[in-house]
Amino acid sequence: MLQFHEIYNFSCYISQFQVMETGAHCWAHFGYKSSSPYMPHLSILYADLTEEEKQRAQEKANALDESIKSLKFPITRLALYKTDTEDKTLKSWEKVAEVNLQQN
């Protein structure tokens, strides 16, 4: 069975310890517990896709702009959303908070 998931994401350049510590801190505020560590990411596409469809989507994106693999940009704001993983329309997403980030 296919899973609804994101197929493109990016990684942040911070240590795994910082990621896990930050995730645990945030989860504690909501009483959430997880057996797996949190990895911050930006999801570009959510869809029910086969492995072949994911590969074709990546090939199309690369064909449009080969430099997409090395794309870099500053992140100036961060938002936290409450999400229902069963809602594939994403219409139930609710913004909890948004903060502006300082540039170093």
Q: What is the pTM of this model?
A: 0.49
Task: Report pLDDT digits (tens) over 23-51.
Answer: 778 778 888 877 776 666 667 777 788 88
How many Å apart are CA 89 and CA 46, to the nearest integer? 9
Domain regions of the chain by residue span? 4-73
CATH number of 4-73: 3.90.1140.10
Annotate 28-69 with DSSP letters as a single string. HHHT---SS---------EEE--HHHHHHHHHHHHHH-GGGG
Helix (H, G, I), strand (E, B) or coil at 19: helix
How many Å apart are CA 17 and CA 58, to the nearest integer? 30
Task: Report pLDDT digits (tens) over 49-74.
Answer: 888 998 898 888 888 887 877 777 77
